[in-house]
Structures are given as C-alpha cells and as structure tokens.
Amino acid sequence: FYGPDWKAYGTVDRTFYAAPLGASVKSFVWYSPKTFADNGWTIPTTWPELLALSDKIAAEGKVQPWCVGFGSGDATGWVGTDWMEDIMLRVNDAATYDAWVNHTMPFNDPKVAAVLKEAGKVLKNAKYVGNVSAIATTTFQDGGAGIVDGSCAMHRQASFIGGILAGNNGATIVTPEDTDVEGGITTFYFPGVTADQRPALGGGEFVGAFSDRGEVGAVQLYLTSPEWNNKKAALGGWFSANKGLDTANVADPVNKNAVEILKNATIFRFDGSDAMPAAVGTGSFWKEMTAWVAENKSDKAVLDAIEKSWPKS
C-alpha cells in the first residue's frame, strides 16, 4: 500500500524493518483563493508557470508576489534549506538528491549550483520578495502573514504553517473554491519543471518491531492497511501516504491536498538537511543560506563554504 520510496526508508541492507505510518508534506505554496480570484490569477502547474505568474504579479504592482521569512532564532536559515531541497527534487533526479545528501557528490557541484540559481530567481529577486536582506530577520512565523492580509500572493511552507497563521493572524483554512472568504488561505502543489513531474518533499513516521513475534508483525501489518489508515484519518488532523487512503475521509482541505500530492508523487524524499551531518545540516547550511540573503553572499561562496565545512570522516 506504499510506494517504493516509502518502503526504501524502512529498509536496511534489503531487509524491511519499519512500516510507514503518518506523513507530512512540505511541497506547498500557500495562497489566498480570494486574492487570486480578485486578481484573475490561475494556479500554476509547472515551475516556469510559477515564475511567469510571479512576473505578472510583480508587473501589476498591486501585491508583492512572494513573502518569505528565514528567521528562527538559533535555527535561522532552515527555511532556505527547504527551498533548496524542494528545488533539488525538481531540477535533478532522485539519485542526484541522494548523492547530494550523502555527500557522494560535492556540495559545490554544478548540479547543486543550478539549484541555488533557481532558488535565487525567487528569493534574491527584489521584484518578487521586496527587501531581500529582510528575509533573514523576518521570522518564519511572520513570513506568511502577507497572504492573510492580502499584501503578498504566495508563501512556500509546510503544512504546519496554517495553524500558526490561523492562531497569530486570524487566517481561516479554506478550500480553493472558497474565493469569497477574507483571510481565507489554502495551498497548491509546489510544481515541478513539467506538469507530469511531481516530486514531493516531506517527512513521516515508521513503526519498527523490537521483537520477532507473530503478533508484533500482525500489528505492523494492520497499521499499514487501508482500513486502519482510513479510520485514523477520519478522526482528523492526520494523514498518510497509504495508497488506499480515501481523501473523502480527510476533512481538512490542506491535508486532503497533501494526500493527493503523496498519491501522485513521482519521487518522494525526506528533508535532506536532517540527514546530513549536524555540522552541515543544522550548521553551515543554515548559516550560509542566511548569509546568502542577508549579506548578498554569492552562490559560489555559499556552496564552497558548505563544502569546506563537511566533516572529513
């Protein structure tokens, strides 16, 4: 009931140990259906269309195309790493993503440089984001506030930000069809380079067995079944990548979209920085992505610094 990418995450040396359970999705663009409808904008289905829409919004001059915040205290910069990971899955294949994460490919490889260049088309474009350096000091909690009050059009962030914007900014989570709700926000898929390329970035939980007993295996098997997944999802606030999960049992419109993204994903990968050595994944990668926007540090200098920081052993 799960795709090969999910099975691979629970497998070590060709032995399957851990069954997938819940999931999360990061490949989202948050927006206001009312703002889009009022301005006659349509949802982009490819990366080039997303950039073209950003150009159109910028040219109209009524709304800032994107709002972004990297600020997160000692963890400032992680939002930038998420952008890199999502775009890495779009401009390169799964093997390249894995080589980047595992460092069998250098961090300053031309393929990584191409990803940072694509990210810069949004994040270092003042026509899209306003004051680029302010991204570093805007908290991730405040980063999406503009989609609620209508001052910005789009915000790339994982599913959790909806609850923050609802609590802090009075947003209401709506469906894409709810075009008359002030402060209503929802999501569309952060698109691939082509419409039929649908990579997804996210996370998940797994059920591992600590005893080789029949009843333990039976529980693992039951927790992977469509029956259990549909019952669990119907309780609310939860979803999985189980291919038997019926979206009719997922009430929240953002979670419903997440299930569709997972079902249709051509590639699924976990957050890359989480799997890197701490000196990089929660160290130089965060620091250098912050310097990239705060100090206008060059792409080459950023990638060279991260490569240099990778532990030798």
Residue 246 lies in a domain: no
% of the chain with per-residue pLDDT over 90:
97
In the predicted model, is pLDDT for residue 313 greater than 80?
A: no
Average pLDDT value over all residues in the chain: 97
Q: How confident is the model at residue 129 (pLDDT cuts 50, 70, 90)?
A: very high
* β-pair type (152-156, 267-270): unpaired
What are the tens digits of pLDDT across the range 198-213?
999 999 999 998 998 9
What are the tens digits of pLDDT across the range 229-270?
999 999 999 999 999 999 999 999 999 999 999 999 999 999
Residue 245 lies in a domain: no
pTM equals 0.95
> CA 267, 104, 72, 58 torsion: positive or negative?
negative
In the predicted model, is pLDDT for residue 14 greater than 80?
A: yes
What are the tens digits of pLDDT across the range 75-123?
999 999 999 999 999 999 999 999 999 999 999 999 999 999 999 999 9
Residue 217 lies in a domain: no
In the predicted model, is pLDDT for residue 49 greater than 90?
A: yes
Token pair 């947003």 is at which residue? 171
Mark 98-125 as b/e (b = at least 16 C-beta within 10 Å). Answer: ebbbeeebbbbbebbeebbebbbebbbb
Whole-angstrom distance, CA of residue 313 vs CA of residue 310: 9
**CA end-to-end span of the chain:** 38
Residue 236 · residue 251 · CB < 8 Å: yes
Q: What range defines the domain where residue 86 resides?
A: 28-197+272-309
Residue 145 lies in a domain: yes
Tokens found for residue 28: 């989202």
Per-residue model confidence (pLDDT) at position 187: 98
Whole-angstrom distance, CA of residue 258 vs CA of residue 87: 18
Q: Domain of 292: which CATH number?
A: 3.40.190.10
Residue 166 lies in a domain: yes
Whole-angstrom distance, CA of residue 253 vs CA of residue 32: 13
Number of domains in the chain: 1
Residue 292 lies in a domain: yes
Residue 157 lies in a domain: yes
In the predicted model, is pLDDT for residue 64 greater than 90?
A: yes
Residue 277 lies in a domain: yes
- In the β-sheet with 184-189, what is the strand arrangement from edge to edge? 64-66, 152-156, 28-31, 184-189, 172-173
In the predicted model, is pLDDT for residue 130 greater than 90?
A: yes
